Amino acid sequence: MDKIFLLLLAVSFYLLLDITKRVFKGFLCYGVAVMVKEYRVLFRKGKQREFLDLVVNRLNCVSVRGILQYGFDINYSTLKNYYTERRLLPKSFFESLCHIAKLDKNKFNVQVINGNWGQVKGGKISKRDRNVYIV
């Protein structure tokens, strides 16, 4: 009875760890899931759109939506946000696009930043606003 219980406990713990890994896309440290933000690629203003247009032309796609046929697991609305520069490209997606379109990733003048860059920037702005008092 105890062996069956221990076996079931071990299997359920393993499944819980597997689900946690998939949900958080991070890693486990002492049995606790740690969220890892992926690095982002920062282009100059307007250059991210030019990069995506170049990839579309190199792949002979009709539009940005044609990139999805190459097996990327990205929503079309997210791809549109990348195209309109509302969001920064993830580093892995940038490297995959460069690989598929046969572009040299070192050719582009980009800056690699942390995934929480916008949150840090917003937090610094909110700290600054707290010190202003309206009289």
Question: pLDDT for 22-56, tens place per residue?
Answer: 444 555 555 555 556 789 999 999 999 999 999 99
pTM of the predicted model, to two decimals?
0.65
Residue 27: beta bridge partners?
Answer: 34
CATH number assigned to the domain covering 40-116: 1.10.260
Work out the percent of the chain whose per-residue pLDDT is above 90: 51
Dmax over CA atoms of the chain, in Å, equals 73
Q: What 8-state DSSP symbol labels residue 105?
A: G
43, 110 contact by CB (below 8 A):
yes
d(CA 91, CA 95): 6
Name the residue ranges covered by the structural domains of the chain. 7-34, 40-116
What pLDDT sits at residue 106? 92
Contact 37, 114 (CB under 8 A): yes
